[in-house]
Amino acid sequence: MTLSIGDIAPDFLQESTLGPLSFHNWLGDDWGLLFSHPADYTPVCTTELGETARLMPEFARRGVKVAALSVDPVDSHKDWIHDINDTQGVRVLFPIIADPDRKVAALYGMIHPHASTAATVRSVFFIDPDKKIRATITYPASTGRNFAEILRVIDSLQLTDCHPVATPVNWQNGGECVIVPSLKDPEALRQAFPAGYRELRPYLRWAPQPKP
């Protein structure tokens, strides 16, 4: 199955390290981050799940629930968590979903057969409170994810949902934004950007990042 930005994230019921997880019910009205890893007891995945555990306060501050997944069974996940906690100096408290029947992997297109017919690639799905997929990132098994970029994408999505801006190249939270081209009314511009803005071209206008 191929999922596109704007599609509803497929619902599922699977076992996890925190018990049975009904995905849409678990998400509730929060944002969600679902990411797959190729296999348990592998070095890159161990570092990634350790970093996720370290960043849980950052995800919570943004109202984002996090769940990991691989095609290994739940008992393997639970045993592996001890290694993650010990080697990474963390406590993994978020759910790791078991997908031994590859049901979720098929729903989300997490197995790329030209890379591996058995293991999931490093997929990341950003899901909004309406259960829509808002962004995806896919890495090969050999490349660990950049979680600073994952947080940056969340910040951009949440900011641009609330204000008539887009985030330019290499934007970081707090940096200047660009005004969306569709906003042209002078009064609406004054209200949206009371501190003013810089117009380099009619379609390229820079403004300080709006406050929450």
Q: Decide if 162 is catalytic.
A: no
Token duo for residue 56:
């849980």
Sheet strands (E) in the chain: 13-14, 21-22, 31-36, 64-70, 96-98, 122-127, 133-139, 165-166, 177-179, 198-201, 204-207
Is the CA virtual torsion 173, 178, 181, 186 positive or negative? positive
Please name the residues in contact with 185: beta carbons below 8 A apart, sequence gap of 6 or more: none
Q: Which residue in the block uniquely carries the two structure tokens 């599609």?
A: 7
Angle of the 43-54 helix axis to the 147-162 helix axis, nearest 10: 40
Closest of 18, 27, 14 to residue 132, by C-alpha: 27
Q: Degrees (nearest 5) of the Cα angle 72, 76, 82?
A: 135
Residue tagged active-site, from 9, 27, 34, 45: 45
Measure the CA–CA gap between 115 and 4, rounded to whole angstroms.
20
Residues marked as catalytic? 45
